[in-house]
Amino acid sequence: MSVLLQPVDGLCTLDGGVPLMAALQAAHAAGSHLGTLSPRYPTLQAALDAGDPLWCSRLVRVQVQTAHGWLAGPLAPRAAMGPDLACFAVGTGARVQAVTVRLDPAVAWVSQSFDGVERALEAARTLVTRGCSLVELRGLRASPTLTAALPRQGAGRGFTLVEHATLRPLDVRHTLVAAYEDVASMWPAHGEHHLAALDLHRVVLSSSQEERPFPTASPTPPYLRDVFAPAPEDSRA
Amino acid sequence: MVLLAPGAAIQPFLADLAREAPGSTVSQDVLDRVGYTRDATPFGFLERRAGVIAEGPGAVVWPGSTQDVVTLVKLAGKHRVPLYPFGAGSGVVGGLLPRTGGVVVDLKRLGQVAVDRAARTVESGAGVLGERLERALNAYGFTAGHFPSSIYCSTVGGWLAARSAGQLSSRYGKIEDMVLALEAVDGLGRVHVAHRGDVPDLLRALIGSEGALAIITRAWLRIHPLQTHHTIFGLAAPNVTAGISFMRQVLQAGLRPSVFRMYDPPDTMLAGGIPKASPAPLVLPGPISRAGHEDGSMQGKPRAGTAQPPQGLFDMLSRRATAALRREVAGGRVTPLLRGVVGRALQQTTWLEVPYARLPPHCLLVLGLEGDAPDVEETLSHALSLAREGNIQVTGRAPGERWLKRRHAVTYKMPPFLRSGGWADTLEVSACWSTIEPLYFQTRETLLRHAVTLAHFSHAYPEGGSIYFTLAGGSGSSLDSALTAHDAAVEDALAVFARLGASLSHHHGVGRMKLRNMKAALGPGAHAALSRIKVALDPHNILNPGVLGLGGTP
């Protein structure tokens, strides 16, 4: 099990079975981040099996083992080499061997509380516009706290800068990808929830609650379900 | 070019189509069939000029709705008629090579555009031309942020099928970053609406599928408010290495320039060298995409009777050749003697290694930033700070303004050069930052054995970027000799790409030009998986058979 940080390329390569908290800690200690302060799942294999939107959004290259051999895309950004088969295989049960995800610098941090989710969302979007790739909200709908990693000091102008942010566990039981505009109506009035910005348009809303507070995703069509059948020797098959 | 007659088996299919999908327009006119015989692959032009006997589509169909496409596909499956999806034909890797027994499906009638201002999305038919989409969005105060140099001759569906990249990609991303969902009709006539983040993510399988898995009929794309301010200016790097390092640092500092390009020393020289200092960068009102628009027209649009300003290799070569041609050629016909002279002059390129090595090592960069005024001020300040640290000099506004004026002209430059007796092509590749420098030097050294070679670096991302190589050689007296030289150059370059772990392509796609290299590049299990997806989505093998190495003869 290994975590390989490649700061020159802005990448981190890890085994599917490596504990995600260890990967986050390694990145954090190097002044970088992997897009979240919470591992969300015990391992990347578990996160990808669940199709976790946050981890899926940071994939650069996935090497998976299927019944028909391994497959992987090139370790090159935005390659135009047909369908992205390896990333398509995520969530099909294929065994993940190695995954390369984006690793971004964190030269400083922002932490700030808001008196409502609407204003917090506006602030989150502003920070994403300025190039921040870790922007999270956590807490109650009426009083969420924003935490963001800054790729340069100037990106945090107008916000409260702090030197460090703390990694925290988060037991993700339910997730939903939503547009910024839709979050205010979806964020439940009760209980603590978690939001991570994916990009300028979308966020992922997560909950640790037992009951499902968000709609579910559509199931995989049956004619595609078997394309990436796990290899027979895979104990999880 | 001589076109073979349509296959006889196509007539029952067309009769059924007329009965069951009266909304579809059909043509078997020879001019239509010739027009849809090739995409914009450079050797397509040379084949036409050489009078090659070619297959072409048996017919061209223009469906008017997704339902028309469903009917078309079901009937094609029943009659086993191959279908070749078509956007606007700007592809350059041989993605379109229809057979006489097949039908080209031109999707331009799928032309609806609906803007959702609150959600910042646009629903677009697959056949919407890039320019039309951008104009429609501008009317609402938005932009798609997608400006391929082919924006006047490419469509939303084509962008998705081939993984298009635009000139402002460092800020807005490639088309795969922009799409939120798409609708596509598979080879059994089933309609899929694939959303970003579905598990499994069918969107990732359909984007880049080059028409082999489904016909894309509609897409939902992100859009962005037009920015209020911008700046664009030139810089000079002391050499390629320093320039690459500067580009990497800018992107990894979270800056997202709209325009970020660097020209290698030969390309810098052909662009006129490093300019003398011009006025310093200014933060100006308006977005880069609309900079200089006073009459509402798109920047750089070629207009009838208006010569495009010369730029780069094609211009230098074709300007001289064209001047000679004008003197010697009557009625637009090129004399074999003159073509032979121009072609042979470029056949041997090994002598170029000496002057290349003696070129000044400086590289011209163009950097453009946009946002609201404080954002542009802050990012400009940070970029200039990084430039100072990297010994990168600011050369002023002139290079940026010149690039803005000529940004769409290159798409229209190749045919005049080909007419003058040369062959030319482009190769684009992406790699991580740690690979970019050896990739550039090793590929350039390899290509110089076969062709005149230039390169620019564009489409920069936090984890790496793209290099765009332009190669030109002489066709000598025959198409075959040009093809031989071209194929050798491409094959050797792709071997370098593979050796260094770079991609086969960044935004042109695979088509039929890079088929041989695809299996090795993706790994032993990939082709099996791709074939299984093909069987799942297109069991009758009627969708663009042969492309991506799927379903028959390339």
Q: What is the pTM of this model?
A: 0.89
Please give the structure tokens belonging to residue B3: 């076109």
Min distance A19 CA to chain B CA atoms (Å): 22
Closest CA to A47 of A79, A15, A83: A15
What parts of chain B have a pLDDT lower than 50?
294-318, 320-322, 324-333, 554
**Distance of alpha carbon A136 from alpha carbon A148, whole angstroms:** 6
Which residues of chain B have a CB within 8 Å of the CB of A150? 254
Number of inter-chain CB pairs under 8 A, A vs B: 229
pLDDT for the residue B348: 63
Cis peptide before B374 (omega within 30 of 0): no
pLDDT for the residue B173: 95
Beta strands per DSSP E along B127-177: 142-143
**C-alpha radius of gyration, chain B, whole number:** 23
The residues facing B368 across adjacent strands are B232, B259
Which 367-396 residues of chain B touch chain A by CB within 8 A?
371, 374-375, 378-379, 381-382
Q: Do the Cβ atoms of B122 and B133 come closer than 8 Å?
A: yes
pLDDT for the residue A65: 82
The mean pLDDT of A197-217, rounded to a whole number, is: 80
Please give the structure tokens belonging to residue A163: 């030197």
Please give the structure tokens belonging to residue B374: 């404080």
Give the one of A51, A70, A150 whose C-beta lies nearest to B525's C-beta.
A70
Name residues whose C-beta falls within 8 Å of residue B543's C-beta, 6 or more positions apart in sequence.
Answer: B73, B82, B83, B85, B186, B187, B211, B212, B213, B214, B215, B551
Please give the structure tokens belonging to residue B114: 């609906």
Amino acid at B74: K
**Tens of pLDDT along B3-48?**
677 777 899 999 999 999 999 999 999 889 988 988 888 888 777 7
pLDDT for the residue A91: 78
Which of A17-26, A181-190, B14-23, B206-215 comes out lowest in average pLDDT?
A181-190
Name residues whose C-beta falls within 8 Å of residue B137's C-beta, 6 or more positions apart in sequence.
Answer: B115, B122, B143, B144, B223
Strands B59-62 and B103-106: parallel
- Answer yes or no: is pLDDT of A231 > 80: no
Please give the structure tokens belonging to residue A5: 């940080």
CB-count burial class (<10 Å; 0-12, 13-18, 19+) for A91: buried
Which residues of chain A have a CB within 8 Å of the CB of B525? 65-66, 68-71
Which 466-505 residues of chain B touch chain A by CB within 8 A?
466, 501-505
| Count of residues in chain A | 237
Q: A12, A58, A78: which to substitute to probe chain B, counting the most B Cβ within 10 Å?
A: A78
**Tens of pLDDT along B469-491?**
999 887 666 788 888 888 999 99
- Answer yes or no: is pLDDT of A230 > 70: no
**Distance of alpha carbon A214 from alpha carbon A211, whole angstroms:** 9
Q: Do the Cβ atoms of B422 and B257 come closer than 8 Å?
A: no
Contact across the interface for B432 and A217, Cβ inside 8 Å:
no
The mean pLDDT of A208-223, rounded to a whole number, is: 62
User: Could you tell me the CA-to-CA distances from B15 to A186, B310, B340, B486, B543 in Å, in that order?
Assistant: 52, 50, 49, 43, 20
Min distance B248 CA to chain A CA atoms (Å): 8
Min distance A84 CA to chain B CA atoms (Å): 5
**Tens of pLDDT along A137-149?**
999 999 999 999 9
**Distance of alpha carbon B490 from alpha carbon B109, whole angstroms:** 36
Helix (H, G, I), strand (E, B) or coil at B25: strand
| Count of residues in chain B | 554
**Distance of alpha carbon B197 from alpha carbon B441, whole angstroms:** 38
**Distance of alpha carbon B473 from alpha carbon B349, whole angstroms:** 8
B331 to chain A, any CB pair closer than 8 A? The answer is no
Which residues of chain A have a CB within 8 Å of the CB of B506? 76, 78-80
**Distance of alpha carbon A74 from alpha carbon A68, whole angstroms:** 18
Amino acid at B153: C
Contact across the interface for B209 and A11, Cβ inside 8 Å:
no
Which residues of chain B have a CB within 8 Å of the CB of A75? 432, 501
pLDDT for the residue B410: 61
Min distance B118 CA to chain A CA atoms (Å): 7
Please give the structure tokens belonging to residue B101: 């027994």
> Which residue in chain A has the smallest CA separation from B514?
A81
Strands A95-102 and A11-15: antiparallel
> Which residue in chain A has the smallest CA separation from B255?
A131
User: Could you tell me the CA-to-CA distances from B537 to B192, B211, B297, B386 in Å, in that order?
Assistant: 10, 12, 41, 49
Helix (H, G, I), strand (E, B) or coil at B341: helix
Tell me which DSSP letter residue B298 carries.
P
Please give the structure tokens belonging to residue B156: 């939303």
**Distance of alpha carbon A35 from alpha carbon B377, whole angstroms:** 27
Give the one of B224, B253, B537 whose C-beta lies nearest to A152's C-beta.
B253
Angle at which helices B524-537 and B515-522 pack, to 10 degrees? 110
**Distance of alpha carbon A90 from alpha carbon B202, whole angstroms:** 10
Min distance B511 CA to chain A CA atoms (Å): 9
Which of A6-10, A51-55, B490-494, B503-507 comes out lowest in average pLDDT?
A51-55
Please give the structure tokens belonging to residue B142: 């938005």
Q: Do the Cβ atoms of A6 and B461 come closer than 8 Å?
A: no
B548 to chain A, any CB pair closer than 8 A? The answer is yes
Name residue, tokens 């332009």. B470
Min distance A140 CA to chain B CA atoms (Å): 24
Please give the structure tokens belonging to residue B258: 């709209």
B529 to chain A, any CB pair closer than 8 A? The answer is yes
Helix (H, G, I), strand (E, B) or coil at B286: coil
Amino acid at B170: S
B199 to chain A, any CB pair closer than 8 A? The answer is yes
Q: Do the Cβ atoms of B138 and B226 come closer than 8 Å?
A: yes
Categorize the per-residue pLDDT at A72 as very low, low, confident or very high, splitting at 50, 70 and 90: confident
What b/e readout covers A154-172, taking b as 16+ CB neighbours within 10 angstroms? bbbeebeeeeebeeeebeb
pLDDT for the residue B296: 39
B255 to chain A, any CB pair closer than 8 A? The answer is yes
pLDDT for the residue B342: 56
Contact across the interface for A69 and B466, Cβ inside 8 Å:
no
Name residue, tokens 């088309």. B175
Contact across the interface for B204 and A80, Cβ inside 8 Å:
no
**Distance of alpha carbon A159 from alpha carbon A108, whole angstroms:** 11
The residues facing B115 across adjacent strands are B122
Contact across the interface for A83 and B213, Cβ inside 8 Å:
yes
pLDDT for the residue A93: 77
pLDDT for the residue B278: 78
> Which residue in chain B has the smallest CA separation from A70?
B525
Which residues of chain A have a CB within 8 Å of the CB of B221? none
pLDDT for the residue A208: 85
Q: Tell me which long-range contacts B332-339 makes (C-beta under 8 A, separation of at least 24).
A: B334/B419, B334/B420, B334/B421, B336/B477, B338/B421, B339/B420, B339/B421, B339/B475
Please give the structure tokens belonging to residue B505: 């392509």
**C-alpha radius of gyration, chain A, whole number:** 18
Please give the structure tokens belonging to residue B395: 């050369």
CB-count burial class (<10 Å; 0-12, 13-18, 19+) for A189: exposed
Q: B160, B199, B246, B517: which to substitute to probe chain A, counting the most A Cβ within 10 Å?
A: B199
**Distance of alpha carbon A108 from alpha carbon A156, whole angstroms:** 8
Give the one of B176, B180, B524 whose C-beta lies nearest to A69's C-beta.
B524
pLDDT for the residue B139: 95
A31 to chain B, any CB pair closer than 8 A? The answer is no
Give the one of B222, B251, B530 whose C-beta lies nearest to A201's C-beta.
B222
Which residues of chain A have a CB within 8 Å of the CB of B208? 80-84
**Distance of alpha carbon A136 from alpha carbon A119, whole angstroms:** 13
Contact across the interface for B506 and A71, Cβ inside 8 Å:
no
Please give the structure tokens belonging to residue A102: 């984006």
Closest CA to B9 of B80, B68, B72: B80
Which 126-165 residues of chain B touch chain A by CB within 8 A?
162-163, 165
